[in-house]
Structure 1
Amino acid sequence: MTYTRSAQAIVDVAASPNALFDYLDDQARLGSHMQKPSMMMLGGQMSYELDDAQGRAVGSVIRMEGTMLGVRLVVEEVVIERLPPRRKVWETRGRPELIAIGAYCLGFEIEAAGQSSRLRVFIDYDYPRSVLGRILGWIFGPIYARWCVKRMAEDAVRTFQRQKV
């Protein structure tokens, strides 16, 4: 599928590609920034429901549900690529019920960089389909997409910095 918008974050992480992939392969941990109220979530939060594979196999299904400003949010994702310890990609299935972005493809790539790893977290997305969704997506979509990939990347950096101390 082709998407009209994208955002990415690139960071160096003090971890081997294997250790970093194992950390990021946990979908609930990777999306932990969505599971607690925050300013970017306007006080809302999402909860995860994982299939038996826990999001760790091609074809695995991840379902998120929550609220933001009293609006019900629902999205279902499916893992479409998983190449440990280098790359994992998942995308929405069906029609996501979100506010700032619509359908998307999200993932990460890891390259060895000496004693560390270079991590790229990316999202390719469209605006929501409704007229109001397109307006809100045009205003908030790029901000939200950048926040999301940045949080995933920075959380990985912080996790491995703490482990070295």
Structure 2
Amino acid sequence: MGTYPFHREVSATLAARPEVVFRLLDDPVRLAAHMGQRSAMMAGGTMRTETDELRGKAVGSVIRMTGRILGMSLWLDEAVVERTPQHRKTWETLGEPRLLVIGGYRMGFDLVPSGRGTHLRVWIDYKLPPAGGPRLLGWLFGRFYAGWCVRKMLQAAAQAVDGVAR
């Protein structure tokens, strides 16, 4: 586990029980869907998310993301390092990812019952890329990119909750 000097987080209360929210967020493909859509924050590129046979739903499960952005091949492997159903899930990059704006990271979500709903906190702790142009991009845009990422995950959770019976 690494040391991560930067942190971003968002939170909201959703109108669903923690077990419903956890079930929806436990799918890494759903949670990373924003990376598979072309957007300005993705510089027009996309990343594809793949999981191992454990589908990102167990400690040790590996998730791989690959893609092309601005003509460059990017990739990362991450592993689930903590999974407590209905309460918390955390995953962390393995090795040094090849990304443009952030480097290695640890991220996750926390769920706390709140009345008839659930308070959801989505967070990321991250480093800048190790050197060169990506490190400069990280200094300039890392905070914005990390904030965008956690906001998109929170939005995905809210949309998924709206689409299911509570």
Using the size of structure 1 for normalisation, the TM-score is 0.96
Partner of 1:75: 76
Instruction: Say whether 1:127 aligns with 2:109.
Output: no
Count of equivalent residues: 165
Partner of 1:14: 15
Give 5+ residue unaligned stretches, structure 2.
none
Partner of 1:159: 160
Q: Which amino acid aligns with 1:51?
A: D
Q: What's the CA shift for 1:159?
A: 2.2
Q: What's the CA shift for 1:98?
A: 0.1
Q: Which amino acid aligns with 2:10?
A: A
How does 1:1-150 map onto structure 2 within 5 Å?
1-150=2-151
Please say if residues 12 and 157 of structure 1, whose CA atoms lie closer than 8 Å, have aligned partners that are also in contact: no
Q: Which amino acid aligns with 2:153?
A: M
Q: In structure 1, the residue corresponding to 2:40 is in which secondary structure?
A: coil
* Aligned-partner Cα distance in 2 for 1:154–1:164: 17
* Aligned-partner Cα distance in 2 for 1:98–1:80: 21
Please say if residues 24 and 160 of structure 2, whose CA atoms lie closer than 8 Å, have aligned partners that are also in contact: no
Q: What's the CA shift for 1:158?
A: 2.1
Deviations 1:111-159 (A, max 9, x none): 0001110000000000000132221101110000000000101121122
- Runs of 4+ in structure 1 over 4 Å off: none
Please say if residues 97 and 103 of structure 2, whose CA atoms lie closer than 8 Å, have aligned partners that are also in contact: yes
* Aligned-partner Cα distance in 2 for 1:158–1:59: 28
* Aligned-partner Cα distance in 1 for 2:79–2:71: 26
Two-structure CA RMSD over aligned residues (Å): 1.2
Give 5+ residue unaligned stretches, structure 1.
none
Q: Which amino acid aligns with 1:61?
A: V
